[in-house]
Homo-oligomer: A and B are copies of this chain.
Amino acid sequence: MTVDYSQLYSDLAANMKVSAIRELLKYTNKPEVISFAGGLPNPGTFPLETMKRICNEVLDKWGTKALQYGETEGLSQFRDYLKKMYAASGELVDGDDLVITEGSQQALDLFGKVLLSQGDHLIAEAPTYLGGANAFLVYGCHVDHVEMDDDGMRMDLLAAALKKAKKSGRMPKFIYAIPTFQNPAGVTMPPARRKEFLDLVYQYDNLIILEDDPYGNLYFEGEPVKSLKSMDREGRVVSLKTVSKVLAPGFRCGIVTGPQEIVRKVVVAKQSADLCSPALTQFMAWQYMEQGNMPAQLELIRKMYRGKRDLMVKALKENMPEGVKWTYPKGGMFLWVTVQGVNTEELFMEAIKNNVAYVVGTAFYCDGRGKDSMRLNFSYAKDDEILEGIKRLSNAIRTQRKATPKK
Contacts and interface: CB of A to CB of B under 8 A. Distances in A.
A16 B272 contact: yes
Interface in A88-120: 102-103, 105-106, 108-109, 113-118, 120
Contacts of A160: none
Among A173, A250, A273, the one with the most B-chain Cβ atoms within 10 Å of its Cβ is A250
A18 B269 CA distance: 9
A144 B184 CA distance: 46
B249 A113 contact: no
Interface of A: 1-13, 16-19, 22, 40-41, 43, 46, 48, 51-52, 55-56, 59-60, 63-64, 66-70, 72, 102-103, 105-106, 108-109, 113-118, 120, 131, 134-135, 138-139, 173-174, 202-208, 234-236, 244, 248-252, 259, 261-262, 265, 268-269, 271-281
Nearest to A108: B272
A95 B63 CA distance: 40
A271 to B, nearest CB: 6
Contacts of A102: 102, 274, 277
A5 B265 contact: yes
Contact of A205 (B2, B131, B269): B2
A67 B49 CA distance: 12
Given A43-B64, A56-B56, A265 B9 contact: yes
Given A8-B173, A55-B56, A3 B274 contact: no
Nearest to A52: B59
B68 A250 contact: yes
A202 B1 contact: yes
B43 A67 contact: yes
Given A5-B265, A234-B3, A105 B272 contact: yes
23 contacts: A1-B205, A2-B205, A5-B206, A10-B114, A10-B117, A10-B120, A11-B118, A12-B114, A16-B272, A40-B69, A43-B64, A43-B67, A43-B68, A46-B67, A48-B59, A51-B59, A67-B248, A67-B249, A69-B244, A102-B277, A103-B275, A135-B273, A252-B277
A8 B40 contact: no
A126 to B, nearest CB: 20
A262 B51 contact: no
B22 A271 contact: yes
A206 B6 CA distance: 9
Given A7-B206, A13-B114, A48 B64 contact: yes
A69 B37 CA distance: 14
Given A1-B202, A265-B5, A52 B51 contact: no
B278 A278 contact: yes
A234 B4 CA distance: 11
A377 B390 CA distance: 61
A281 B251 CA distance: 9
